[in-house]
Amino acid sequence: MTLFLAALLLLFASALAALVLGRARAANLAGPLGCAAGCALGLASAVGALFSATPPALHLPWNIPFGALSLAIDPLSALFLLPTFTLGGAAAVYGRGYLSAMAGKRNLGAHWFFFCLMLAGMALAVCATNAVLFLISWEIMSLSPFFLICLDHDNDAVRAAGRTYLFAAHLGTAFLMAFFLIMGRLAGSLEFAAMARIAPGVLAPLAPALFCLALAGFGVKAGVFPLHVWLPEAHPAAPSHVSAFMSGALIKAGVYGILRSLILIGPMTPWMGQALVALGLITAVPALLIGIGQGELKRFLAFSSIENIGIMILALGLGILAASTGHPGAALLAFSGMLLHVVNHALLKGLLFFSAGSVLHAVGHGSMERLGGLAKRMPVTALAFILAGAAISGLPPGNAFFGELLIYVGGGIAALDLPLPSAGYAWACVAGLALIGGLSVIGFTRASGIVFLGEPRTDDAANAHDPDLSMRAAMVFLAACAAGAALASPALLRMILPAVRPLLAGQSPDLPAASSIVVNPEALLQTAVWIAAGATALALVLVLVRRWLLAGRPVHVGGDRGTWDCGYARPAPRMQYTASSYAEPMTSMFRRLLGETRRVKPPRGLFPAQGTASFASATPDRARDGLFLPLFTAVGAACDAVKRFQHGNLNLYILYVLATLVILLAFSLEFFA
Amino acid sequence: MTAALSVVLPLALAPLAAGVVNRVKALFGGRRGKPLAQSYRDILKCLGKGATISRTATWLFRAGPAANLAATLGALLFVPLGNLPAAISFPGDIFVFAYLLAMGRFFTIMAALDTGSSFEGMGASREAVFSCLAEPMLFLALMALARYADNLSLSGMLAAVSSGSWLSGAPVLALVTVSLFLLLLSENCRVPFDDPNTHLELTMIHEVMVLDHGGPDLGFIQYAQTLKLWIFSAVTASLLLPAASGSAALDALWGLAGLFAAAVAVGVTESIMARLRLIRVPPLLAAAGAFAALALVLVGD
């Protein structure tokens, strides 16, 4: 606990130091340095807590009503601290390089102040065991990104994105307050420990309402459909190290919240599992379908984050369904796969946003159709993005494969053992995961193929180069972490299992646990690691065989030898396949659903003049345009109607006061009774 | 020992199975056809040649075919041949198996995009989309089989099913067989999904992705292609073979007979059907999924 508190203190201290330094160049040194040091301390405390027999805890009185400084790093909290501090530290190092051009010109002190505050807020939120402390740190964590997103506030689009984020964050907190007030009233205390002791009989009638409140409140943060709309707006607008942290770690706070509230609500019921499976599928599949139609690199990555949250929700639902129907084996696999995916996704998404940020930094924009050929110009960035893209699609030997494998096998066992109506959900899980994996492959081959391979489509892409040392170091660090997480996934699983136990505890033990298939998750992962490593080694051997076969034979590389392209004489970069063409088979298949719009000006005549024909397609986010825009417009109109009472005329205001007083007087005299 | 056979036999005989498909197609077309061993000659010729690599290409172009072959070889380890068990099997291995194949596909697609060619981009896009639709269908079919056999490993579920099981579970097994056969055609780029012999790049899927590869790279690609045909044929044929006899030699013979019968079936299908328009491919894949889902429902508890 001392280490954790020291980490928090260091974060707050560097926040203040950065704030004081303000526009000075040193702010871009003190901020990231203090941040990285704080994260290193925090990481040490989290790892220590994972291995300690009793969770470190702290309880101090506080003079806020019902509040107390109650902190505890139980295994679940420690598990979510891991990505927070790993990614937070890496993002700080990366951000120093990313913002170096602005140092001395803009107020980077304020930026680093809010960055440290966001890290500290999230660390506090996942460790708080008192509802008041939790909500306060949750608000710190939710509000600071607004200032981080709006770094480039001269830009209209950035301000609009910041506003969307702010609305979403506040809406979520409103649900959370309701959730904790109800729980607190039932428990008679706002301590989590007291809430966990509420008698099941008292809680049962309210459980559905509480479940929905928690899901709505935390779902906004996590980006669950249809509450995901802030992600694709905020991520492209924010500086890349901020989007990396938000996508990799911050949205996981929502997942943490859902898990924590489920543990507090108590015995899980099959319908919760079924609802979460359905919610996971309708989060992940549409997110990717919309995502593969996006032309902006970071916007696509935002949709991929929503998809991965969908996978986590899906696995959570599968685990609850299996646990509540007496299949703890499948539930264990699903829950541990989900938590493993939380860690793996954080590393990979951080790496992807870092490399996308390097592209933005080098070229100045992230529009795929205007990029290309970057692999030759920025080899480190390209390698990071392509391999992380393969890994995040769940392909072996990437680290995300191992988490998804556990979910798959859990789903497979549930699909075999559950009775018929419930088994359908397990089948949907397995088939849905396969579809999600395939869609993710489309999305990431498209993004990495169009952006990094081929020939540059514009001059700015042709002049790109790899970023400076601090940015490269952050990428290499995360890549090494991801490779380590893949190789050591059995060990990682062993660290995760204590966090799974509270989810499995309290499930009705009287149900029959009849399973024909017993899988030891650790042994399964060990086998999978051997196979993945073997396949990788085999690929390397084959590369050597290829080299040996080619030795002494005529090999012509490059020079005047262009791509054959069926003998086309003068290929030009503009003739390459585009990002929209690549996604076209899929987007046109789901055109009705997605509402894709196309603007086509076909070529006319036998010799169309240059620039007269054009084609553009865009895939909107229907949840945003169809649901939230009309909703908020309606709320805005209602507010406008109220504005009529606010004239600015003093006489009128005095009349209001008088009228109110008369009505109150009438009430107190029981005039209406 | 018997497990080694289910790896060594495909390594040696996979190109022959491809030869059988070609011979059947030639016979249907009234031609004499290439020699059965032509695939071996093609692969060996490619391995002995030099290479020409475009100035646009990067390391991915060179690594793609090797990675694809390695992934296919890895997937092969999970596939039994009839009643000869696979080299590796454990509950849940079907997911590792399918994802290894997906990894190979990822690198093939990336190598195609690496050339910057419009044709190859087109092929890559189609391959990505169709395999994305085929993957869930494959899992549904295997899930039906798994529930029927109450076993979650590829070897286990295929060993539990033999021609004798058709007496009791004919509807389920028939639906799964049809579904797996459709997936065999789709994953191996066969008519009606794709035509390996077409001469128009615009309509190709797989062949257009490897237009720029030559030399050992092309050899790797062709060998991986024949192995993949073997993998899917072996899985489909296993459903129809008689139960284990106890003798490894007899089991191997039955396995090979089933495999070549599957190759003949592929050849016949390719000869009597026309290739579908590309927009008709997703509905056919959906049909394969519908068959598998129906089988799942029919298995019951």
B contacts of A454 (beta carbons < 8 Å): 56, 113-116
Confidence at residue A672, expressed as pLDDT on a 0 to 100 scale: 63
Residue of A nearest to B44 (CA): A549
Min Cα–Cα distance to chain A from B31, Å = 28
Confidence at residue A343, expressed as pLDDT on a 0 to 100 scale: 96
State residue B89 phi and psi, 5-degree precision. Answer: -155, 135
Min Cα–Cα distance to chain B from A185, Å = 45
In terms of domains, do A541 and A627 share one? no
Residues B12 and B285: their CA atoms lie apart, in Å, by 31
Interchain CB distance below 8 Å, A543 and B135: no
Contact criterion met (CB below 8 Å) for A229 and A624: yes
Phi-psi region of A12 (alpha: psi -120 to 50; beta: other; left: phi over 0): alpha
Asked whether residue A231 is domain-assigned, the answer is: no
Confidence at residue A52, expressed as pLDDT on a 0 to 100 scale: 85
Test mutation, A453, A527, A582, A589, chain B, max B CBs within 10 A = A453
Tell whether omega for the bond before A467 is within 30 degrees of 0, i.e. cis: no
In terms of domains, do A379 and A432 share one? yes
Confidence at residue A342, expressed as pLDDT on a 0 to 100 scale: 96
Q: How many residues does chain A have?
A: 673
Min Cα–Cα distance to chain B from A622, Å = 22
Looking only at the bridges linking them, the beta strands covering B51-53 and A555-557 are parallel
In terms of domains, do A354 and A425 share one? yes
Q: Which tokens go with B54?
A: 């475009």
Please determine, for residue A511, whether its predicted confidence score (pLDDT) is greater than 80.
Answer: no
Interchain CB distance below 8 Å, A582 and B99: no
In terms of domains, do A581 and A443 share one? yes
A572 in contact with chain B, both atoms CB, cutoff 8 A: no
Min Cα–Cα distance to chain B from A607, Å = 22
pLDDT digits (tens, 9 = 90+) for A182-230: 999 999 889 999 998 888 888 888 999 999 999 999 999 999 988 888 9
In terms of domains, do A583 and A664 share one? no
Residues A388 and A400: their CA atoms lie apart, in Å, by 10
Interchain CB distance below 8 Å, B150 and A516: yes
Interchain CB distance below 8 Å, A453 and B116: yes
What DSSP character marks residue A370? Answer: G
Min Cα–Cα distance to chain B from A408, Å = 7
What DSSP character marks residue A647? Answer: -
Confidence at residue A620, expressed as pLDDT on a 0 to 100 scale: 85
Asked whether residue A387 is domain-assigned, the answer is: yes
Pick B42 or A1 by higher pLDDT. B42
B145 in contact with chain A, both atoms CB, cutoff 8 A: no
Please determine, for residue A508, whether its predicted confidence score (pLDDT) is greater than 80.
Answer: no
Chain B residues 83-112 within an 8 A CB cutoff of chain A: 88, 90-92, 94-96, 98-100, 102-103, 105-106, 109-110
Please determine, for residue B281, whether its predicted confidence score (pLDDT) is greater than 50.
Answer: yes
Min Cα–Cα distance to chain A from B222, Å = 14
**How many domains is chain A partitioned into structurally?**
2
In terms of domains, do A580 and A649 share one? no
Chain B residues 60-79 within an 8 A CB cutoff of chain A: 60, 62-63, 65-67, 69-71, 73-74, 77
HSE-up of A265 (CA within 13 Å, CB side)?
23
Asked whether residue A433 is domain-assigned, the answer is: yes
Biggest alpha carbon distance in chain B?
60
Residues B114 and A577: their CA atoms lie apart, in Å, by 11
DSSP per-residue string spanning A375-437: HHH-HHHHHHHHHHHHHHTT-TTSTHHHHHHHHHHHHHHHHHHS-HHHHHHHHHHHHHHHHHH
B43 in contact with chain A, both atoms CB, cutoff 8 A: no
pLDDT digits (tens, 9 = 90+) for A363-407: 999 999 999 999 999 999 999 999 999 999 999 999 999 999 999
pLDDT band at B301, cuts 50/70/90?
low
Interchain CB distance below 8 Å, B66 and A448: no
pLDDT digits (tens, 9 = 90+) for A88-123: 999 999 999 999 988 888 889 999 999 999 999 999
Among A27-41, A123-137, B96-110, B197-211, the range scoring the smallest mean pLDDT is: B197-211
CB atoms near residue A421 (< 10 Å): 9
B201 in contact with chain A, both atoms CB, cutoff 8 A: yes
The whole-chain average pLDDT of chain A stands at 91
Among the partner-chain residues B98, B128, B293, the one whose CB lies closest to the CB of A442 is B128
Report which of A193, A252, A221 is spatially closest to residue A59, judged by C-alpha positions.
Answer: A193
Please give the helix or strand (H or E) that residue A617 lies within, else none.
strand A614-618
% of residues, chain A, pLDDT over 90 = 66
Asked whether residue A248 is domain-assigned, the answer is: no
Report the sign of the C-alpha dihedral through residues B106, B107, B111, B114, in that order. Answer: positive
CA A532 to chain centre: 26
pLDDT digits (tens, 9 = 90+) for A348-365: 999 999 999 999 999 999
In terms of domains, do A646 and A591 share one? no
User: Environment class of residue A268 by beta-carbon count within 10 Å: exposed (0-12), middle (13-18) or buried (19+)?
Assistant: buried
Confidence at residue A516, expressed as pLDDT on a 0 to 100 scale: 67
Residues B288 and B265: their CA atoms lie apart, in Å, by 17
Min Cα–Cα distance to chain B from A478, Å = 22
A587 in contact with chain B, both atoms CB, cutoff 8 A: no
Asked whether residue A164 is domain-assigned, the answer is: no
Among the partner-chain residues A396, A543, A582, the one whose CB lies closest to the CB of B103 is A396
pLDDT digits (tens, 9 = 90+) for A297-324: 999 999 999 999 999 999 999 999 999 8
Confidence at residue A646, expressed as pLDDT on a 0 to 100 scale: 77
Asked whether residue A613 is domain-assigned, the answer is: no
Chain B residues 223-282 within an 8 A CB cutoff of chain A: 278, 282
B301 in contact with chain A, both atoms CB, cutoff 8 A: yes
pLDDT band at A599, cuts 50/70/90?
confident
% of residues, chain B, pLDDT over 90 = 74
Confidence at residue A510, expressed as pLDDT on a 0 to 100 scale: 47
A375 in contact with chain B, both atoms CB, cutoff 8 A: yes
Min Cα–Cα distance to chain B from A378, Å = 12
pLDDT digits (tens, 9 = 90+) for B170-182: 999 999 999 999 9
What DSSP character marks residue A626? Answer: I
Please determine, for residue B192, whether its predicted confidence score (pLDDT) is greater than 80.
Answer: yes
Interchain CB distance below 8 Å, A416 and B278: no
Asked whether residue A96 is domain-assigned, the answer is: no
Residue of A nearest to B47 (CA): A549
Domain of residue A464, residue span = 317-508+517-546+575-600
Among the partner-chain residues B116, B152, B278, the one whose CB lies closest to the CB of A416 is B152
In terms of domains, do A532 and A654 share one? no
Contact criterion met (CB below 8 Å) for A241 and A95: yes
Alpha helices in A128-151 (DSSP H): 131-149
Please determine, for residue A464, whether its predicted confidence score (pLDDT) is greater than 50.
Answer: yes
In terms of domains, do A587 and A627 share one? no
Per-residue pLDDT averaged across A505-520, rounded?
64
Question: First vs last Cα of chain A: how many Å apart?
Answer: 60
A462 in contact with chain B, both atoms CB, cutoff 8 A: no
Residues A582-600 as b or e (16 or more Cβ within 10 Å = b): bbbbbbeebbeebebeeee
Test mutation, A378, A406, A416, chain B, max B CBs within 10 A = A416
In terms of domains, do A541 and A628 share one? no
Residues B212 and B113: their CA atoms lie apart, in Å, by 11
DSSP per-residue string spanning A56-125: -EEEEE-SSTT-EEEEE--HHHHHHHHHHHHHHHHHHHHHHHHTGGGTTTS-HHHHHHHHHHHHHHHHHH
pLDDT digits (tens, 9 = 90+) for A543-576: 999 999 999 899 988 888 888 877 777 778 888 9
Asked whether residue A340 is domain-assigned, the answer is: yes
Confidence at residue A597, expressed as pLDDT on a 0 to 100 scale: 84
In terms of domains, do A415 and A493 share one? yes
Please determine, for residue B200, whether its predicted confidence score (pLDDT) is greater than 80.
Answer: no
pLDDT digits (tens, 9 = 90+) for A255-286: 999 999 999 987 888 999 999 999 999 999 99
pTM of the model: 0.94
A442 in contact with chain B, both atoms CB, cutoff 8 A: yes
Residues A17 and A26: their CA atoms lie apart, in Å, by 10
pLDDT digits (tens, 9 = 90+) for A629-667: 888 889 889 888 888 777 778 888 899 999 999 999 988
- Reported ipTM: the value is 0.96
A420 in contact with chain B, both atoms CB, cutoff 8 A: yes
DSSP per-residue string spanning chain B: -HHHHHHHHHHHHHHHHHHHHHHHHHHHTT---S-TTHHHHHHHHHHTS-EEE-TT--HHHHHHHHHHHHHHHHHHTT--BTTBPPS---TTHHHHHHHHHHHHHHHHHHHHHTTT-HHHHHHHHHHHHHHHHHHHHHHHHHHHHHHHHT--SHHHHHHH--GGGHHHHHHHHHHHHHHHHHHHHHHTT-TTT--TT-S-GGG-SHHHHTTT--THHHHHHHHHHHHHHHHHHHHHHHTTSPPP-S-HHHHHHHHHHHHHHHHHHHHHHHHHSPPPPGGGHHHHHHHHHHHHHHHHHHH--
Interchain CB distance below 8 Å, A563 and B52: no
Report which of A111, A102, A83 is spatially closest to residue A22, judged by C-alpha positions.
Answer: A111
Please determine, for residue B203, whether its predicted confidence score (pLDDT) is greater than 80.
Answer: no
CB atoms near residue B246 (< 10 Å): 8
In terms of domains, do A639 and A584 share one? no
% of residues, chain A, pLDDT over 70 = 98
